[in-house]
Structure 1
Amino acid sequence: MFSTGQLYFAIFFVIVFVLVMIYVYRKDLALHKIHYKGSLWILFFFLLFIGILFIIKLVLKE
């Protein structure tokens, strides 16, 4: 399906991309703590909402 060169390129690209994303995130970590304070609560309530919808689906399916 893919040639060997394409697979090597894809693996290399993914590794480099992840490393660059880690580097950039670490560099901006101080700014993230200032500007995105409280964002974990939003994630928590979003996941809670999805969980409640899933439970409602299971209860109404029976």
Structure 2
Amino acid sequence: MFSTGQAYFAIFFVIIFIITMILVYKKDLKEMKNQYKGTYWILIGFLLFILFLFIIKFFLRE
């Protein structure tokens, strides 16, 4: 299916890619905390809206 060189390249690429993603995430984590303050309120509002739609559906079904 794959040659030996292709398998080595794929393994090497995946390892380097994962390491790079971890390092970039750690670097940006501090900045993300400042930029995305208050996003939990949006998530809570969205979930409440979905819950409200299910409640309406439940009461209108009968």
Task: Tell me the CA shift for residue 32 of structure 1.
Answer: 1.1
- What stretches of structure 1 of length at least 5 have no aligned partner? 6-11
| Number of matched pairs | 48
Q: Based on CA coordinates, which of the two structures has the bigger radius of gyration?
A: 2
TM-score computed with the length of structure 2 as normaliser: 0.59
Q: Structure 1 vs Structure 2: percent identity of aligned residues?
A: 53
Is the alpha carbon distance of 1:50 and 1:25 closer, same or farther for their aligned partners in structure 2, counting shifts above 3 Å? farther
- Residue 35 of structure 1 pairs with residue 35 of structure 2: yes
- Between stretches 36-45 and 23-32, larger displacement belongs to 23-32
Task: Tell me the CA shift for residue 27 of structure 1.
Answer: 2.8
Task: Tell me the CA shift for residue 26 of structure 1.
Answer: 3.2
Task: Tell me the CA shift for residue 29 of structure 1.
Answer: 1.2
Matched residue type, 1:25: Y
TM-superposition CA deviations, 1:2-56 (whole Å, max 9, x none): xx87xxxxxx8xxx5xx56x62433311111111000010000000101101111
- In structure 2, the residue matched to 1:59 is 59
Superposition RMSD in Å? 2.5
Matched residue type, 1:28: D
